Structure 1
Amino acid sequence: MTRPATEPTVERRDDRHRYEILVEGERAGLTAFRDRGEQRVFYHTEIGDAFAGRGLAAQLVGHALADVRAQGLRIVPVCPYVAKYLTKHGEFADITDPVTPDVLSWLRNGDQA
């Protein structure tokens, strides 16, 4: 008898400025962010090759954005995957801010606001 696979879990890792998705305890991917005042700026998302094709990126980003809402923050989707996710999930439109040159400069320079 085979044991059913456990559902992936998502954890916010404030110490590493990212959310991680775990599959049976192994990190399968992450979405990285930096906080800028009341904005959570997402700038990179990746899923490991061994975990590709399972819909994990969507689960990860969906959980992360729901967490942003629960914390009363706003989303800035610099990461192309997060931006694409938001085009398909209008329920986050009310807490999404545009990517501006000011945000990109802040992110590039590593400024802390």
Structure 2
Amino acid sequence: MTDTSPTPAVERVDDRHRYEIRVGGRRAGLTAYRDHGGQRVFFHTEIDGAYAGRGLASRLIRAALDDARASGLRIVPMCPFVAAFLSKHDDYEAVTDPVTPQVLEWLDTELRRTPGRS
């Protein structure tokens, strides 16, 4: 039997501060970020339950991290999904920064003042 399901596609949506993964034109999930200096702080990832178990979270996170790295940004994994992914993929170690109290405080302030949080 041939798999005829649409190929998932990841796109960066700058005005919403997130990457989205789409399947057949429908958003199946997202990973949200904010940029802080030379860092891309990933703080939330979700996959719609209808798309669970297809490996979409890993595909989404890999594409987002690859894009951040290609853009010359360092990765800060506040999101548990992103942190778990990074713990299994040490090829991002050279561009990953730890979550610090300063970044936590900055993100809290950033999200409170930003309308339409992701």
Q: Scaled by the length of structure 2, what TM-score is found?
A: 0.90
How many pairs were matched up? 111
Q: Which residue of 2 aligns with 1:106?
A: 106
Aligned partner of 2:51: which letter?
A: F
Change over 3 Å in CA distance of 1:56–1:78 after alignment to 2: same
Which ranges of structure 2 fall in alignment gaps of 5 or more residues?
Answer: 114-118
Q: Which residue of 1 aligns with 2:97?
A: 97
Q: Which residue of 2 aligns with 1:77?
A: 77
Post-superposition offset of 1:6: 2.0
Which ranges of structure 1 fall in alignment gaps of 5 or more residues?
Answer: none
Computed over aligned residues only, the root mean square deviation of the Cα atoms, in angstroms, reads 1.5
Deviations 1:71-93 (A, max 9, x none): 01100000011000000000000
Structure 1 runs (4+) greater than 4 angstroms displaced: none
Post-superposition offset of 1:5: 1.9
| Cα distance in 2 for residues equivalent to 1:3 and 1:50 | 17
| Cα distance in 2 for residues equivalent to 1:3 and 1:109 | 45
Post-superposition offset of 1:3: 7.7
Aligned partner of 2:46: which letter?
A: E
Q: Which residue of 2 aligns with 1:16?
A: 16
Aligned partner of 1:110: which letter?
A: E
Q: Which residue of 2 aligns with 1:59?
A: 59
Percent of aligned positions with the same letter in both sequences?
61
Q: Which residue of 1 aligns with 2:42?
A: 42
Aligned partner of 2:109: which letter?
A: N
| Cα distance in 2 for residues equivalent to 1:3 and 1:83 | 31
| Cα distance in 1 for residues equivalent to 2:32 and 2:54 | 20
SS of the aligned residue for 1:53 comes to coil
Aligned partner of 1:34: which letter?
A: R
Q: Scaled by the length of structure 1, what TM-score is found?
A: 0.94
